[in-house]
A and B are shown apart, each in its own frame.
Chain A
Amino acid sequence: MILQAILILGGTGLVFAIFIAAANKKLKVWEDPRIDVVSAMLPQANCGACGLPGCRAFAEKAVGGEIQPSKCTVSNAERIGEIAHFLGVDAGQAVKRVARLACAGGSNVAMQRAEYRGLNTCEAATAVAGGGKGCAWGCLGFADCERACTFGAISMTAEGLPVVDVEKCTACNDCVVACPKQLFSLQVLDHALFVQCKNLVHGDGVLEQCTVACTTCGKCALDAAPGLISVASGVAVINYDKIAEAEESATERCPTGAILWLRGAQFARVPALSSSEAA
Chain B
Amino acid sequence: MTAPNLIVTASPHLKDKDTTPRIMWTVAASLVPVILTSAFFFGISALLVITAATAGALLTERAVGRPNALKDGSAVITGLLLGLSLPPGIALWMAFLGGAFGIGFGKVIWGGLGQNGFNPALIGRAFLQTAFPVAITTWPKPGGNFFALKGDLFAFPFMHPSSDAVTQATPLGLFKFEKQLTPIVDMVLGTTGGSVGETSAVVILLCGAYLAWKGYLNWRSPVSILLTVFVLGFVLHLINPAKAPDALFQLFSGGLMLGAVYMATDMVTVPTTNKGRWVFGIGTGAIVVVIRVYGGLPEGVMYAILIMNAFTPLINRATQPAVFGTRTLKQKEAK
From residue A133, how far is it (CB to closest CB) to chain B in Å? 10
Give Cα distance in the complex from A204 to B10, angstroms: 32
Whether A128 contacts B6 by the Cβ 8 Å rule is no
A:121-171 near B, CB below 8 Å? 124, 127-129, 131-132
Whether A114 contacts B10 by the Cβ 8 Å rule is no
Minimal Cβ-Cβ distance residue in B for A129: B8
Whether B8 contacts A115 by the Cβ 8 Å rule is yes
Across-interface contacts of B5 in A (CB, < 8 A):
115
Give Cα distance in the complex from A119 to B8, angstroms: 12
Whether B6 contacts A117 by the Cβ 8 Å rule is no
From residue A180, how far is it (CB to closest CB) to chain B in Å? 14
Give the size of the chain B interface in residues (CB under 8 angstroms).
Answer: 6
Minimal Cβ-Cβ distance residue in A for B11: A128
Whether B10 contacts A118 by the Cβ 8 Å rule is yes
B:1-30 near A, CB below 8 Å? 5-10
Query: Is the C-beta of A113 less than 8 angstroms from some C-beta in chain B?
Result: yes
Across-interface contacts of B7 in A (CB, < 8 A):
114-117
Whether A118 contacts B6 by the Cβ 8 Å rule is no
Whether B8 contacts A132 by the Cβ 8 Å rule is yes
From residue A59, how far is it (CB to closest CB) to chain B in Å? 35
Give Cα distance in the complex from A113 to B10, angstroms: 16
A:78-126 near B, CB below 8 Å? 113-119, 124
Across-interface contacts of B9 in A (CB, < 8 A):
116-118, 128
0/1 per residue, A225-269, Cβ < 8 Å to B?
A: 000000000000000000000000000000000000000000000
Give Cα distance in the complex from A129 to B6, angstroms: 12
Q: Can you offer 23 A-B residue contacts whose CB atoms are under 8 A?
A: A113-B6, A114-B6, A114-B7, A114-B8, A115-B5, A115-B6, A115-B7, A115-B8, A116-B7, A116-B8, A117-B7, A117-B8, A117-B9, A118-B9, A118-B10, A119-B10, A127-B10, A128-B8, A128-B9, A128-B10, A129-B8, A131-B8, A132-B6
**Could you list which residues of chain A lie within 8 angstroms of chain B, going by C-beta atoms?**
113-119, 124, 127-129, 131-132
**Could you list which residues of chain B lie within 8 angstroms of chain A, going by C-beta atoms?**
5-10
For the A-B complex with A113-B6, A116-B8 known, give 18 more contacts whose Cβ atoms are closer than 8 Å: A114-B6, A114-B7, A114-B8, A115-B5, A115-B8, A116-B9, A117-B7, A117-B8, A118-B9, A118-B10, A119-B10, A124-B10, A127-B10, A128-B9, A129-B8, A131-B8, A132-B6, A132-B8
